[in-house]
Amino acid sequence: MGSEGQYLLAASDGEPLSFPAEDVALVETANGIELKGEAYPVLVAWLRRLNEDHLTLLDSQSKAYLKKLFIGEVQRLIDEAVSVGMPESRLQELRGRIAGKIETTAGNAPRQLKKLRSTEEGEREKLVGAYLRAARWCASEDLRQVAAALLSHAQELWPCEEAVELAAEWLPAEYPFVVNNDSPQQWIRWSRELLPAGARFIPRDDPAWKAVAGTTWAKNVIGLRTKNIELLTHSQDPEVLGACLRSGEAALRTLEKLVGREDSERSRERLQVRIHADREAYLSEHTPSPFDRSWTAGYYSPSERVSRFYVPTSRRGADATNRKLHKTFAHELTHQYLSQCWLPTKGTASGSTTTPGYWVVEGFARFIEEQVVELGRLGNDLQDETAMALDVSSGLQAREGLLPTGALIKMSHGDFDMLPNEAIGELSLRHALLELQITPKTIFYSQAGAVTYFMMHERGDEGREALLKFMRLYYTTPSRDPVWETLGFESEEQLVKGFERFLERLAG
């Protein structure tokens, strides 16, 4: 350890290199390897190295196929290179090689193709060996979840029975399912989904289970725990749950940087979350929350300090289901964080039902929901101008379909509850290939999210500070000053005109 908060990396020649402690995942000491943070960066480091070898393999094999004019095989390798993350410049080079080329029709083509594929298979098996060696090293250093995730990547490269055998050795003691022949492969699948969020299964002897004894959450349930979330769920889908936890953790970590966290023991408690396997179970659960849940996909209950959701079905398939749920997940956890972690001893869930300015509650949650990128993905600057709230708002303004902005910013929670939820039309989105059904409530959510984005990014530091000040006042001691004045405008007209110009710019 170097100076406070720094680690030194000894160099074979020259001066040691210094790294901030928060950027260091593993440290080698006299006693061995020590994990200093979360395990996911260890996987990223290994994949960065192994992916280079993978890309080199794809490049060399594509040249071999191209030499014999097997254009379809080259395209297959290019598609794989995209999924591995080959830089665009190298992809363009590969695509350029096959431009204008015609697939071979040579009489000996089948024999040549068989030989080339055999060579490719041999190269892939060699690279799989490198993945397995990396996995064994991780397991030897008690990083078994990283090891299992590496096995997942190895299997994508080439089918490998040894990966399943190793996973069987590395099943964690807290693995919540009945152990059978399928368990090793399922653990490989789970580890890849959970690792980016730092999630682990909750052991059955953990005190968390005593807290739900005698409830619907005591049986046929798995528990997952991250840095900030404690999740109990009837769903057993690793892709759905992994996406939720990655999105939720990203939202909570972003919120902590953006608005801070109250310095109290209660504010540091993990957020309690429940996910039902389907909508029927979600609606039938008896809870103290009195409101109509039929139009919701999830909600936060301040009196219980719990957020609840269900896994929706989607005609567009699993990917659409994951996106819909994990966006709702981040939205409701934003409400939960602001209530329990930001102002837990000062504020309420969202002011009173008559307090003007309810747009900031739903608008800020919509902003976080759409702008935060899942953990494990690149980019998180909260400046995506293709977000749906902006797409909807700019599209509706063009046909004069928005709520009057001056009225929107004065609306209370009670006013919002009075908005109908029946469709009044459809809108073709510019940045998503879908027709969106429009209701007065969806207009409110989108327009509130757009006003939040406008304040966060179109008004500079002054706008961001004014927005957070207004939100703090709404949650604690609502100001009697006009909303536009608290937000830093000279008049309501100035706010409305500025917001309209912003939407016009987005619409092009």
Q: pLDDT, tens digit, for every residue of 121-159? A: 999 999 999 999 999 999 999 999 999 999 999 999 999
Question: 388-444 pLDDT, tens per residue?
Answer: 999 999 999 999 999 999 999 999 999 999 999 899 999 999 988 888 999 999 999
- The pair of structure tokens assigned to 460 is 């500079």
Q: What is the pLDDT of residue 62?
A: 97
Residues whose CB falls within 8 Å of the CB of residue 15, separated by 6 or more in sequence, listed in order: none
Q: What is the pLDDT of residue 472?
A: 92
Are the C-beta atoms of residues 77 and 110 closer than 8 Å to each other?
no
Q: What is the pLDDT of residue 321?
A: 45
Residue-wise pLDDT tens for the chain (508 aa)?
Answer: 555 667 777 766 667 778 777 777 778 777 778 887 899 999 999 999 999 999 999 999 999 999 999 999 999 999 999 999 999 999 999 999 999 999 999 999 999 999 999 999 999 999 999 999 999 999 999 999 999 999 999 999 999 999 999 999 999 999 999 899 999 999 999 999 999 999 999 999 999 999 999 999 999 999 999 999 999 999 999 999 999 999 999 999 999 999 999 988 888 999 999 999 999 999 999 898 878 888 899 999 999 999 999 999 865 544 444 468 999 999 999 999 999 999 876 555 455 678 899 999 999 999 999 999 766 554 568 999 999 999 999 999 999 999 999 999 999 999 999 999 899 999 999 988 888 999 999 999 999 999 999 999 999 999 999 999 999 999 888 777 889 999 999 999 999 999 999 999 999 8
The angle subtended at Cα 312 by Cα 311 and Cα 316, nearest 5°, is 130
Predicted TM-score (pTM) of this structure = 0.89
Distances (CA, A) of 258 to 126, 337, 382, 459, 474: 46, 12, 11, 16, 17
3-state secondary structure 264-315: CCHHHCCEEEEEECCHHHHHHCCCCCCCCCCCCCEEEECCCCEEEEECCCCC
3-state secondary structure of 256: helix
Distances (CA, A) of 359 to 204, 338, 444, 446: 42, 15, 8, 10
Burial of residue 281 (CB within 10 Å: 0-12, 13-18, 19+) is middle
3-state secondary structure of 238: helix
Q: Which residue has the tokens 């994949």?
A: 47
Neighbours of 423 (CB within 10 A): 12
Strands, E, within 108-254: which ranges?
200-201, 222-225, 229-233
CA dist 488 and 470 (Å) reads 10
CA dist 266 and 301 (Å) reads 17
The residue type at 206: D
Residues whose CB falls within 8 Å of the CB of residue 86, separated by 6 or more in sequence, listed in order: 55, 58, 94
Taking Cα atoms as reference points, which of 222, 218, 123 lies closest to residue 172?
Answer: 222
Quote the radius of gyration of the chain (alpha carbons, Å): 26
Taking Cα atoms as reference points, which of 306, 325, 301 lies closest to residue 314?
Answer: 325
DSSP H/E element including 337: helix 318-337
